Structure 1
Amino acid sequence: MVNALDVSDANFVVLVNDEGQHSLWPAVCEIPAGWHITYGQATREACLVYIEENWKDMRPNSLVRATQGL
């Protein structure tokens, strides 16, 4: 069985959850609860570029708010 994340010529999407965490996800797979599409369908490489450009702070949003006293 082939892992869908390892298929380089497949279409992918970028998912984001409420904590602002990003995930590369195969476009053919069901989106897990708590996540939504923020980018794609696109190539694996394009999705990885999107993540690199848009996910600058890897801390969960709740931790960011807690450290800022909000």
Structure 2
Amino acid sequence: MQVSNPFDDVQGQFYLLQNEQQQFSLWPAQCALPAGWRVISQPQSIDACNAWLTDNWSTLIPSHYASEKGAA
């Protein structure tokens, strides 16, 4: 199946990235890596990435908001 957007390719391989706010992103392996994000895992299937996120990511709140709420 031809996919025009690499983010929508369920057969594709994706990097798992993390930014300074401890947020995660799946990034298509064939695309240049964005600045400000570090690689958490080398390219793997979307199912493997989602399994890792399920096991390791517990909040959608960026770290700077979480630390502000804790200080209040």
TM-score band, normalised by the shorter chain? 0.7 to 0.9
How many aligned residue pairs are there?
70
Gaps of 5+ in 2: none
Give the Cα separation in 1 of the matches to 2:19 and 2:41: 13
Aligned structure 1 segments of 4 or more residues deviating by more than 3 angstroms = none
TM-score (normalised: structure 2): 0.85
Taking only the aligned residue pairs, the percentage that are identical comes to 30
Give the Cα separation in 2 of the matches to 1:8 and 1:60: 27
Root mean square deviation, CA, Å: 1.7
TM-score (normalised: structure 1): 0.87
Q: Decide which of 8, 16, 19 is 1:17's aligned counterpart.
A: 19
Gaps of 5+ in 1: none
Shift of 1:23: 0.6
SS at match of 2:26: strand
> Counterpart amino acid of 2:10?
S
> Counterpart amino acid of 1:41?
P
Give the Cα separation in 2 of the matches to 1:3 and 1:14: 18
